[in-house]
Structure 1
Amino acid sequence: MPPHRVLAINRAEREGVISVHIETLTDYVMEMIRRRYITNPDSIFTKYIEFSINDAFKNYIFPSIERDIRNEITEIADKASIIVFSENLRNLLLQSPAGEKVIMGIDPGFRTGSKVAVIDKTGKCVATAVVYPIEPQNKIDDSDKILKSLIDNFSVEIIAIGNGTASREIDEYIKGMLERFGLKLHSIVVNESGASIYSASEIAREELPSLDVSIRGAVSIARRIQDPLAEMVKIDPKSIGVGQYQHDVDQNMLSSALDNTVESVVNYVGVDLNTASYSLLKYVAGIGLSLAQKIVAYRDEHGKFDDLRKLLDIPGFGDKTFEQSAGFLRIRNGVNPLDNSAVHPEAYDFVYELCKMKGVTIEQLIGNDKLINSFNAKDLVTDKIGLPTIQDILKELKKPGRDPRREYKDAGFVMGVTDIEHLHEGMILNGIITNVTDFGVFVDIGVHQDGLVHVSEIANKYVKDPAQACKVGSTVQVKVIAIDLERKRIGLSMKQVHEKSEK
């Protein structure tokens, strides 16, 4: 039985919708037990033995076996679900950042208006506003003036729109506003899962103490474009909502797996020591929350770090911690160019030797593909540094500080399609994958209700695991194949889009 089906059955049973029992060939099993234990049918004790067998099997043996089987398949289902959640979270955190750009974040709303926040290139909130360009207010002219003023005054480069309530209406309004003023800005619809939780969190109060809770959400939406990883680590991974039956699985096992996933991604990408919050730094290997807070406090008091080894001046930051964490920390424009690379300080002397061999400076070596390719990695192997490490160092020297995250692509939702009632079967739409499960993938097509691409509709070949073919955050084209207005369900197909293009 597929893991997601096991969890669905468990939930239905827990909520009293169904009752679940395992059926077995009771008569056959009882006969086998009788043959084993009733060796003399004519004995005066036979009826007592038969009673004991029946009572033991019915009240003890079979219930125990049933519990063991249920527990075992539930444990298997829990692990499978957690793997799916972890992989989805990993892909979400690895979405590409826009980098150091001025971004306007908009948290859409109808009656209470759309909250607006502008952040500068460092992520600092520099301006806020509330606009009412859509129903029921429809104050388009007033909204145009406010947003145009913010765009001009702060040289906004990107507009990020949360994908919650009223997102499609605001997206269409923004596109119209940009067209009216002849602005060439790029507007992007952003996954805002967990933004409201962040807004009311302690870290949000620390970072944005003067802002109203409703405005903090707009700041978070803007920062998710600037650097998704740095912003999303501030939210409990379970609140991001990219799993299946996440509330039904073992919560301790889930928390541990998700924390490990976040730590893995953070260390894979690397962390800018001079801009990272303690929420991000705490996931760096060897650091933890307490030391992360000390690093930020030291940075606030002494200014930006210009040398990784200054971390050793922080109380509690010893040699062992430095050894564990240094390879994952980055310093841009520091004293040593290698501090902005994944090369560990323990290997700096090796890099200096490479420079001596070619008679160049470290600045001349870094990024010089031709010079780096002239080295034969096998000839550089020593007792201290093996071949795999040398190959990694040479690769890193070609593009130091490179960001391994994939490039972000906007879905480009179809204009005029903002509600499920606007859909009809056969439509080809752009969308963003918001969740991957064992039974298929959910896609945001801009109508406030994600559609489902069943596993059988992903590709023209057999797909055993949707996670192998689809990634959260990826943009896809889908065809509408079913619409259920009453239950608000949308059936989509990816393979039928390809079939049409092939024809």
Structure 2
Amino acid sequence: VPHRVLAVNRGEKEEILRVSVEPPADRIQAYLEKRILQHKQTSAQDVLKSAIEDGYKRLIQPSIEREIRKELTEKAEDQAIHIFAENLRKLLLQPPMKGKLVLGVDPAFRTGCKLAVVDETGKMLKIDVIYPHPPVNKKSAAIEKVKRIIGDFQIEVIAIGNGTASRETEQFIADLLKDIDRQVYYLIVNEAGASVYSASELAREEFPELQVEERSAVSIARRLQDPLAELVKIDPKSVGVGQYQHDVSQKKLNDSLRFVVETVVNQVGVNVNTASAALLQYVAGLSKTVAANIVKKRDEIGKFTSRKELKDIPRLGAKTYEQCIGFLRVPDGDEPLDRTGIHPESYKETRELLKKLGLSTAQIGTGELQDKINELNISEAAEQLGIGEITLKDICAQLTRPERDPRDEVPKPLLKTDVLQ
């Protein structure tokens, strides 16, 4: 079993176990003697036998043992990396909870539960702390404070981290919500890696005025709104979804996890007007420097109104533009096709297709367009437009659902109003 091999290797490395392979030495010795001596009677028989024994024990056995263990370890590593990558993919593809005002709660006993109110776009509006648990036990003051925050900001959802004191905090929030006359839900959010993010350079740049603990409450709230956008800020190895990650080949693991993050980011697509540099750097073709330049330019000129404007970004050359632009979306821009996943290289054919259907770019995503595309003969149309059938199918899919997000197909998280058990 792969994970057992890694466990044994770790035990051996830490000098807790001594590991050896026990082959049937007598049988092997007899086999070798039979092959080499072939029942010939010779005066050198005794010398040959001891040479066979010495050669096997001193040279052949250790070499084969190393080979077997190397093969077992490689298989175990590949399996561990594969499981880690799959778990990470599922975590990144968790559905976002768009358009909600969220109260993030980072639970704790002694240091108090940190609170953070985050608006629909992920902007932090308020930071606070409550002490509903021992040893401080200021429960009534905590109830008052949370009720006031829920009322002042019209909070719709509360995100509670799943770390220390999570159960006690869940009970506290569930009891408190019973006294509120409108429907407010709560959710338990996986906070693995939140403390890594809070102490990172990135978090310091984002929230220079906040304490480390306060930043994690913001991260927990944002993880509910858009898990992908928040989790890309953390080293994938810190999100707690893999086993034996320090025992496997670090290069292989890093390459595999980076590939997963890039694939998911490109699959989902990125809104160039809201994405952080941390998210943009995972778009195909974009480096950290170019991602930072895009954000810098956005801060200077305000929202981008078309994909073409990205050609002016320093270090974003023609080749990079060609590679990345299909994954970058510009919603509410001057060109309606810029909000789809259609590459600008195919705009000409897309317009011809719309003309053929008697429609305009303003009708992207409408029921009328959906009906006309359903009636379309794909192979005939592809031939007329001079493009491949697969490309045409992709264009049609993007026109019918321009804001399509693969995460929409995943079951939504379970909203709760009370403790179930």
Matches within 5 A, 1:134-149: 134-149=133-148
Distance 1:40 1:96 in 2: 73
- Contact kept in structure 2, 1:267 and 1:285, CA below 8 Å: yes
Q: Shift in Å at residue 70 of structure 1? A: 0.4
Q: Do residues 269 (structure 1) and 271 (structure 2) align?
A: no
Identity, in percent, stands at: 47
Cα 1:315–1:381 shift into 2, 3 Å: same
Counterpart for residue 395 of structure 2: 393
Matches within 5 A, 1:321-340: 321-340=320-339
Q: Tell me the secondary structure at the aligned position of residue 152 of structure 2.
A: helix
Q: Tell me the secondary structure at the aligned position of residue 100 of structure 2.
A: coil
Q: Tell me the secondary structure at the aligned position of residue 23 of structure 2.
A: coil
Distance 1:133 1:377 in 2: 63
Deviates more, 1:141-150 or 1:199-208: 141-150
- Contact kept in structure 2, 1:117 and 1:219, CA below 8 Å: yes
Cα 1:314–1:416 shift into 2, 3 Å: closer
Distance 1:266 1:236 in 2: 15
More helix by share: 2
Q: Tell me the secondary structure at the aligned position of residue 406 of structure 2.
A: coil
Counterpart of 1:79, as a letter, is D
Distance 2:364 2:204 in 1: 45
Aligned partner of 2:414 among 394, 410, 413 = 410
- Contact kept in structure 1, 2:184 and 2:417, CA below 8 Å: no
Cα 1:365–1:111 shift into 2, 3 Å: closer
Counterpart for residue 356 of structure 1: 355
Distance 2:420 2:184 in 1: 20
Distance 2:337 2:260 in 1: 27
Q: Deviations 1:411-431 (Å, cap 9, x if unpaired)? A: 7597385xxxxxxxxxxxxxx
TM (normalized to structure 2)?
0.94
Q: Tell me the secondary structure at the aligned position of residue 126 of structure 2.
A: strand
Matches within 5 A, 1:280-429: 280-367=279-366, 368-382=369-383, 384-405=386-407, 406-410=410-414, 412=416, 415=419, 417=421
Q: Do residues 27 (structure 1) and 31 (structure 2) align?
A: no
Counterpart of 2:229, as a letter, is A
Counterpart for residue 95 of structure 2: 96
Counterpart of 1:389, as a letter, is T
Q: Deviations 1:420-473 (Å, cap 9, x if unpaired)? A: xxxxxxxxxxxxxxxxxxxxxxxxxxxxxxxxxxxxxxxxxxxxxxxxxxxxxx
- Contact kept in structure 1, 2:116 and 2:221, CA below 8 Å: yes
Q: Shift in Å at residue 174 of structure 1? A: 1.1
Counterpart for residue 6 of structure 1: 5
Q: Tell me the secondary structure at the aligned position of residue 347 of structure 1.
A: helix
Counterpart for residue 447 of structure 1: none
Q: Shift in Å at residue 17 of structure 1? A: 3.6
Q: Shift in Å at residue 5 of structure 1? A: 2.1
Counterpart for residue 431 of structure 1: none
Q: Tell me the secondary structure at the aligned position of residue 371 of structure 1.
A: helix
Unmatched tracts of structure 1, length 5 or more: 418-503
Q: Tell me the secondary structure at the aligned position of residue 179 of structure 2.
A: helix
Distance 1:416 1:102 in 2: 24
Counterpart of 2:281, as a letter, is K
Distance 1:39 1:415 in 2: 77
Counterpart for residue 50 of structure 1: 49
Cα 1:416–1:316 shift into 2, 3 Å: closer
Cα 1:183–1:140 shift into 2, 3 Å: farther
Distance 1:300 1:153 in 2: 30
Q: Tell me the secondary structure at the aligned position of residue 178 of structure 2.
A: helix
Q: Shift in Å at residue 248 of structure 1? A: 2.0
Unmatched tracts of structure 2, length 5 or more: none
Q: Tell me the secondary structure at the aligned position of residue 254 of structure 2.
A: helix
Matches within 5 A, 1:447-486: none
Cα 1:360–1:41 shift into 2, 3 Å: closer
Across the aligned residues of Structure 1 and Structure 2, the Cα RMSD in angstroms comes to 1.9
How many equivalent pairs are there?
416
Deviates more, 1:40-49 or 1:225-234: 40-49
- Contact kept in structure 2, 1:85 and 1:242, CA below 8 Å: yes
Q: Deviations 1:225-252 (Å, cap 9, x if unpaired)? A: 1100000001111111111222222221
Q: Tell me the secondary structure at the aligned position of residue 280 of structure 1.
A: helix
TM (normalized to structure 1)?
0.79
Q: Shift in Å at residue 23 of structure 1? A: 2.0
Distance 1:165 1:40 in 2: 72
Deviates more, 1:174-183 or 1:386-395: 174-183
